[in-house]
RNA sequence: GUGGGAGUAGCUCAGGUGGUUAGAGUGCCUGGUUGUGGCCCAGGAGGUCGUGGGUUCAAGUCCCAUCUCUCACCCCA
């Protein structure tokens, strides 16, 4: 048997309606905020990600599905969406068409990680990116969108964690200070931390190793290195969130794994999930557009995992309802079967949802089938009915059956009002 | 990449210390009604016991290897 690839999953008919529910909720929600949808290709040039996300990140260094195509081009299945959206923003010069661009997306991503609860190799995210504003109102709007969307879906136990990692200057200074502080402890650090010491010392702050945490207790804090502008930006974001009644907590050690963030970073998690409890992560990235070759453009955005959202939602499936077929047409003999198809087609044209049998089964098994599919009415046609231009309409809930002449059928079904 | 747990019917799972034709519930099909579903009753189909090797008179059960799923670490959504 050929199975689906590790970390990929089929979404079967008993689940697809959940996905459609999320999808339609999102489109409706984003419209209220005046955001427009953007869709980018499934794969990009590898260079986009190595430059955009950062060569040293886990994603780029070990998780990408990359290959060289027949023309010798190095390509990669999207592991992340901000870089492609930024690429598209630059390529189509969206910045010159309006002063701010509010975009959202929903897409399929690929990362080669070890699967676990809330993590698969092919997965889905939705998110927003706002281009053109350096002001805290943009940060607050983006954060509010993610938080409020989860809220309206009814997810409880939301935790919003907020931090500012400052502008470029601030981080350069801080990086140097952190290196100076850590240098005497270098031999005590794990191998990965020693590598990070070289490439990205901020990530050491994220360590889960006890004795490293101990070392870091007296390390300089990034908050103290924020410039005056960084600080006031952060303060304004916080007060805007307060004004919107969105609760948050500050976590100065929170460093995101992607290199492009500046100033605001945040994460929303839910206790309804397992170890992978982040529903959404995001922040500001004022340098990325420039890094990827565009005009300097401030931007802020987030991405949220749809699988994780579904997991968090799984606990309360009551609001969702499966839509069943309304009418099942049963033909009793070979003579009437072609007639059944015609009637089905007519009724569909009238707007009903109609199904027929494909296995030439008996009346008994067809009623059973109709029952299983919880259809509202069964229409039964035998030779007698055919000869007299009538049909039997059976209400599957009450069991009541009435003889209806064929030309009154639509009228009769409409009156039933199901 | 590292560690824990698990692989027996479509699904959920039983199968002390090896012992005849491997079970249950549920789902599926048929019948109990010449053309009437649900409930009930009866019957039926459905299994390379994850795979390969080994020990043994005998392996679902013991040993080794391997694959897959799953949870966790790392990291992320």
A332 touches strand B (CB under 7 A): yes
Please tell me the predicted confidence (pLDDT) of residue A314: 65
From the CA of A387, how many Å to the C1' of B76? 68
Co-location of A89 and A119 in the same domain: yes
Co-location of A128 and A247 in the same domain: yes
Nucleotide nearest to A111 (CA to C1'): B76
Residue A191 in any domain: the answer is no
Percent of chain A surpassing pLDDT 90: 67
Q: How many CB atoms lie within 10 A of CB A374?
A: 11
pLDDT digits (tens, 9 = 90+) for A290-306: 999 999 999 999 999 99
What integer is the mean pLDDT of A371-391? 94
Owning domain of residue A89:
13-167+227-318
Co-location of A358 and A278 in the same domain: no
Nucleotide nearest to A268 (CA to C1'): B77
A111 touches strand B (CB under 7 A): yes
Read off the pLDDT band of A319 (50, 70, 90).
Answer: very low
Which bases of chain B are contacted by protein, using any atom under 7 A from a CB?
Answer: 1-3, 28-31, 33, 35-38, 48, 68-77
Q: Does residue A63 carry a pLDDT above 80?
A: yes
A246 touches strand B (CB under 7 A): no
From the CA of A3, how many Å to the C1' of B47? 19
Residue A212 in any domain: the answer is no
pLDDT digits (tens, 9 = 90+) for A167-217: 888 888 888 888 888 888 877 777 777 777 877 787 787 777 777 777 887
Please tell me the predicted confidence (pLDDT) of residue A58: 87
Co-location of A163 and A37 in the same domain: yes
Q: Which of A318, A346, A373 is the last residue of a domain?
A: A318
Please tell me the predicted confidence (pLDDT) of residue A322: 58
Co-location of A262 and A408 in the same domain: no
Angle between helical axes of A136-153 and A228-243 (0-180°, round to 10): 30
What integer is the mean pLDDT of A234-239? 97
Q: If we measure between CA atoms, which residue out of A343, A143, A344 comes closest to residue A237?
A: A143
Q: Which of A291, A318, A345 is the last residue of a domain?
A: A318
Nucleotide nearest to A207 (CA to C1'): B74
Q: Which residue has the higher pLDDT, A350 or A211?
A: A350
Look up the CATH number of the domain holding residue A310: 3.30.930.10
A25 touches strand B (CB under 7 A): no
Q: Does residue A324 carry a pLDDT above 90?
A: no
pLDDT digits (tens, 9 = 90+) for A11-29: 988 888 889 989 999 999 9
Read off the pLDDT band of A268 (50, 70, 90).
Answer: very high
Co-location of A144 and A275 in the same domain: yes
A59 touches strand B (CB under 7 A): yes
Please tell me the predicted confidence (pLDDT) of residue A184: 84
Q: If we measure between CA atoms, which residue out of A108, A114, A93 comes closest to residue A289?
A: A93
pLDDT digits (tens, 9 = 90+) for A272-288: 777 888 999 999 999 99
Q: Does residue A320 carry a pLDDT above 50?
A: no
Q: Which of A140-144, A157-161, A269-273, A381-385 has the lowest mean pLDDT?
A: A269-273
Co-location of A244 and A129 in the same domain: yes
What integer is the mean pLDDT of A213-224? 81
Percent of chain A surpassing pLDDT 70: 97
Co-location of A363 and A309 in the same domain: no
Read off the pLDDT band of A257 (50, 70, 90).
Answer: low
Q: What span, in angstroms and rounded, lies between the C-alpha atoms of A2 and A8?
A: 13
Please tell me the predicted confidence (pLDDT) of residue A269: 93
Query: Is there a contact between A298 and A132 (Cβ–Cβ < 8 Å)?
Result: yes
Query: Is there a contact between A373 and A329 (Cβ–Cβ < 8 Å)?
Result: no
From the C1' of B27, which residue's alpha carbon is nearest? A372
A207 touches strand B (CB under 7 A): yes
Nucleotide nearest to A58 (CA to C1'): B75
State which residues between 136 and 195 of chain A bring their CB within 7 Å of strand B.
192
Residue A221 in any domain: the answer is no
State which residues between 352 and 391 of chain A bring their CB within 7 Å of strand B.
361-365, 367-372, 380, 382-385
Nucleotide nearest to A383 (CA to C1'): B35
Question: What strands lie across the sheet with A377-381, from one edge to the other?
Answer: A354-356, A327-331, A377-381, A390-395, A401-405
Look up the CATH number of the domain holding residue A375: 3.40.50.800
Q: Could you tell me the CA-to-CA distances from A379 to A230, A328, A351, A389, A405 in Å, in that order?
A: 70, 6, 16, 13, 12
Q: Which of A256, A290, A318 is the last residue of a domain?
A: A318
Helix (H) or strand (E) holding A184: none
Co-location of A32 and A101 in the same domain: yes
- Complex ipTM value: 0.86
Co-location of A285 and A399 in the same domain: no
From the CA of A381, how many Å to the C1' of B12? 40
Please tell me the predicted confidence (pLDDT) of residue A317: 46
Q: If we measure between CA atoms, which residue out of A224, A203, A211, A223 comes closest to residue A185?
A: A211
From the CA of A161, how many Å to the C1' of B30? 61
């Amino acid at each position: 048997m050929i199975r689906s690839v590790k970390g990929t999953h089929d979404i079967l008919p008993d689940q697809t309606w959940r996905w459609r529910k999320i999808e339609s909720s999102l489109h409706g929600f984003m419209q209220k905020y005046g955001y427009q949808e953007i869709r980018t290709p499934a794969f990009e040039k590898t260079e986009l990600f190595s430059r955009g996300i950062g060569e040293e990140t886990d994603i780029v260094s070990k998780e990408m599905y990359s290959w060289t195509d027949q023309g010798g081009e190095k390509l990669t299945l999207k592991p992340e969406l901000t870089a492609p959206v930024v690429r598209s923003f630059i390529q189509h010069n969206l910045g010159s068409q309006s002063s701010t661009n509010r975009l959202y997306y929903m897409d399929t991503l690929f990362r080669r990680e070890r699967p676990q609860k809330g993590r698969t190799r092919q997965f889905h995210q939705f998110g927003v990116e706002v281009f053109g504003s350096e002001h805290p109102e943009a940060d607050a709007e983006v954060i509010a969108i993610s938080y409020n969307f989860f809220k309206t879906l009814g997810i409880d136990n939301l935790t919003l964690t907020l931090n500012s990692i400052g502008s470029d200057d601030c981080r350069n200074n801080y990086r140097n200070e952190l290196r100076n502080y850590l240098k005497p402890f270098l031999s005590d650090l794990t191998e990965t931390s020693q590598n990070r010491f070289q490439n990205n010392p901020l990530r050491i702050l994220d360590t889960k190793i006890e004795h490293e945490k101990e070392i870091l207790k007296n390390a300089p804090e990034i908050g103290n290195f924020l410039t005056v502008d960084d600080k006031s930006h952060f303060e304004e974001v916080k007060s805007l969130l307060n004004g919107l009644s969105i609760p948050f907590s500050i976590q100065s050690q929170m460093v995101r794994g992607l290199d492009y963030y500046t100033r605001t970073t945040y994460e929303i998690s839910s206790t309804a999930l397992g170890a992978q409890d982040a529903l959404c992560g995001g922040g500001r990235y004022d340098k990325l557009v420039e890094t990827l070759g565009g005009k300097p453009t401030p931007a802020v955005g987030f991405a949220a995992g749809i699988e994780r959202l579904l997991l968090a939602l799984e606990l309360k499936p009551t609001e969702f309802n499966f839509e069943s077929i309304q009418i099942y047409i049963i033909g009793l003999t070979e003579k009437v079967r072609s007639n059944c198809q015609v009637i089905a087609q007519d009724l569909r044209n009238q707007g009903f949802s109609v199904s027929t049998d494909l296995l030439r089964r008996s009346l008994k098994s067809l009623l059973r089938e109709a029952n299983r599919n919880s259809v509202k009415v069964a229409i039964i046609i035998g030779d007698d009915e055919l000869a007299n231009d009538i049909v039997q309409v059976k209400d599957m809930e009450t069991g009541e059956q009435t003889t209806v002449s064929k030309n009154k059928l639509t009228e009769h079904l409409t009156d039933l009002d199901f």
